[in-house]
Amino acid sequence: MSAKPDLKIVLCSPRGFCAGVVRAIDTVERALDKYGAPVYVRHEIVHNKYVVDGLKKKGAIFVEELAEIPENTTAPVVFSAHGVPKSVPSDAQSRNLFSLDATCPLVTKVHREAAIHFKRGREIFLIGHSHHPEVVGTLGQLPVGAVTLIETAEDAKTITPKNPDNLAFVTQTTLSIDDTAEIVALLKERFPNINGPHKEDICYATTNRQLAVKKVAPVVDALIVVGAPNSSNSQRLREVAEREGCKIAVLAQRATDIDWDKFGNITSLGITAGASAPEVIVEEIMDAFAERYTLHVETVSAAEENEFFPLPRQVRPEAAAE
């Protein structure tokens, strides 16, 4: 039996779950433990099929709109980590639904920034991707027309505000650092008085995972991003790898997604995972490569992460004792 070829695996650190995702998943699991099944979840709690399927098996029912939830239910309804328009909690309240808000606190921060700018009478730009649930939620915090979406550098070059001296911008939390910096620079060049966030809206987890990929992508033959096609932060990691010169940069939800023809002649492989992808799938993919190669594993780190976000009050452990 011929010896397996050697393969150097370079793991990006940090990778995988961020504090906001852990909080969102824990909210659904705690609600199931405390109140029993079913627990309704509006939209995928996070953009990861493995996570969603696991919660379905435990008794979570995923819906896209509250109208899909039966009348007079006493089951909890969880709002996903991406945030929701203001109309959703309002609708839940009018139907006497018991809701739990699992919106990531860093998304809530963007909502608050937009609300403050609106109160101060500013015209608001939102840098983000249309139809992404986070963007839909942020746009839905304010009256229609109060926020204008900017998706590309071209948009930033051509947008015509009503009052160029009374502007503000906020951003989606899961964007490319480089693309966003280019858009912000264009806006600041055109509108020097534009108000931006005191601290970056792009979240720490998105930033750190992109920085790790920037370190690893130039020194490996290929890079796999564990994540879902509809996960914004995972797609941005793949784009960053390509931009940094990695010739083979692919997204994989599971080991079964791997096109082995692409990986036939590599001697080094980078692996990372989007903020909504569990570590168990990283291990599954490494196991798949271990069947074909003798692995030599190292880790390249871009940052230390120790963020923690408390759960919604209704499902905190101490709430049981109240």
Per DSSP, 158 falls in state: H
Q: How many CB atoms lie within 10 A of CB 13?
A: 19
Check whether 43 is labelled as a binding-site residue.
no
276 is in an annotated binding site: yes
Contact between residue 129 and residue 155 where contact means Cβ atoms under 8 Å apart: no
- Three-state SS string across 261-293, please? HHHCCCCEEEEEECCCCCHHHHHHHHHHHHCCC
Q: Does residue 173 have a known ligand-binding role?
A: yes
In this structure, the number of other CB atoms found within 10 A of the CB of residue 269 comes to 23
Mutual orientation of helices 19-35 and 49-58 as an angle, nearest 10°?
10
Is 72 labelled as part of a ligand binding site?
Answer: no
Q: Under DSSP, is residue 167 helix (H, G, I), strand (E, B) or coil? A: strand
Distance, in Å, from the CA atom of 61 to the CA atom of 225, rounded to the nearest integer, reads: 28
CA-CA distance, 194 to 197, in Å (whole number)? Answer: 10
3-state DSSP assignment of residue 20: helix
Q: What is the dihedral of CA 253, 50, 105, 97, to 10 degrees?
A: 140
Query: Would you say 103 is a known binding-site residue?
Result: no
Contact call for residues 235 and 229 (beta carbons, < 8 A) = yes
Residue type, 238: R
CA separation for the pair 117, 121 (Å, rounded): 6
* Type of residue at 275: A
Q: Whole-angstrom Cα distance, residue 201 to residue 169?
A: 10
12 known ligand binder: no
Among 44, 113, 123, 134, the one annotated catalytic: 134
Give the C-alpha separation, 273 to 286, whole Å: 12
CA pseudo-torsion sign 81, 86, 89, 91: negative
Known catalytic membership, residue 134? yes
Catalytic residues: 134
Binding residue positions: 18, 47, 82, 104, 132, 173, 203, 231-233, 276
As annotated, the binding site for [4Fe-4S] cluster includes 18, 104, 203
Residue list for the binding site for isopentenyl diphosphate:
47, 82, 132, 231-233, 276
Residue ranges for the known binding site for dimethylallyl diphosphate are 47, 82, 132, 231-233, 276
